[in-house]
Amino acid sequence: MMLRELYPDFHFETVAMSTTGDKILDTALSKIGEKSLFTKELESALERNEVDLVVHSLKDLPTSLPPGFTIGAVCKRENPLDAVVFHPKNCGKTLSLLPEKSVIGTSSLRRAAQLKKKFPHLEFRDIRGNLNTRLKKLDEKEDFSAIILAAAGLKRMGWENRIGQLLGPEDCLYAVGQGALAVEVRAKDQEILNMVSALHDADTVLCCIAERAFMKRLEGGCSVPVAVNTLLKDGQLYLTGAVYSLDGSDSLKETMQTGVSYPHQNEDGPNDDVQHVGITAKNVPGQAQEAAENLGVELASLLLSKGAKHILSVARQLNDAR
């Protein structure tokens, strides 16, 4: 829709596709162990020139893309927080007010680890499926008292009215890239790259570069609980990052900041298409992108120096053994 408004003379055709992640609905995402769960089929179509651009949730895209691909646009971020949707009988409640041993559905190790620690009276169980399926499982059965979903997904589907509670950073840090849409393109397709770059939102780009660099340095993914919170204010980028054991009992959390106020220089030349953790953003100052990436790397290095590697490797082993 945004591209149609920007380029009214072009014809855009939408092709709907399913991915492995959409099809395997009986296994927790963290157990499947496939990095490109929601992207492989789409990238194959891109490679075969069947499509020219692919729209993803940024949080589904690995921090290293296959050769030949790049994220050509990161659109303005929707609310990145997690949301609680309650069973109709619990309408008006919050997580802290739910009865002892109430079962909460989430397929995310990150959410479960943080919320187990914060709300020890609750139990957490895997729930898979697309948004419709999960809401149906919640409403039509008595298995779950509530489920946790990304607020952005609910809003995009027009189901914002189902949000019973928003989880702020004090309750639950969000996933890397959560709430942002990414447009993946062929890295060498200059025409398409130039076209989609108009969709970049500079603040979102810088926040997500920092988050993705943090995740990449930690070698995190679906199978370990890694979480972030970013804030860009008055030219300063603040990144909070954390790692957790599966039950949330062990964790490390730190915040760092850096300045990202740089003038836009004309950066044509050999570094024309520099990627930062898979993102090509020529219309965002290169020095700002570099500062954001360094921030993510430095914060991850700080956590690693405090023992993050041990927490994550134990979490990975326990998850594999489940």
The residue annotated as part of the active site, out of 9, 22, 26, 60, is 60
Long-range CB contact pairs, 118-121, < 8 A, 24+: 118/171, 118/172, 118/248, 119/95
CB 86, CB 195: distance < 8 Å: no
Q: Which residues pair with 105 in a beta bridge?
A: 125, 147
List, in sequence order, every beta strand (DSSP E) within 160-244: 165-167, 181-186, 226-233, 236-244
CB 119, CB 253: distance < 8 Å: no
Tell me phi and psi for residue 173, to 5 degrees.
-75, 150
Q: Which residues pair with 276 in a beta bridge?
A: 279
The tokens 């009214």 sit on which residue? Answer: 8
Strands 82-86 and 146-150, bridge-based pairing = antiparallel
The angle subtended at Cα 86 by Cα 84 and Cα 89, nearest 5°, is 165
CB 258, CB 53: distance < 8 Å: no
* 60 is known as an active-site residue: yes
* Residue 117 burial class via C-beta count within 10 angstroms: exposed 0-12, middle 13-18, buried 19 and up: middle
Q: How does DSSP assign 31-49, residue by residue?
A: HH--TTTTTHHHHHHHHTT
Region of 147 please: left (phi>0), alpha (psi -120 to 50) or beta: beta
Position 205: which residue type?
V
Q: How does DSSP assign 59-102, residue by residue?
A: GGS-SSPPTTEEEEEEPPP----EEEEE-GGGTT--GGGSPTT-
Cite the active site residues.
Answer: 60
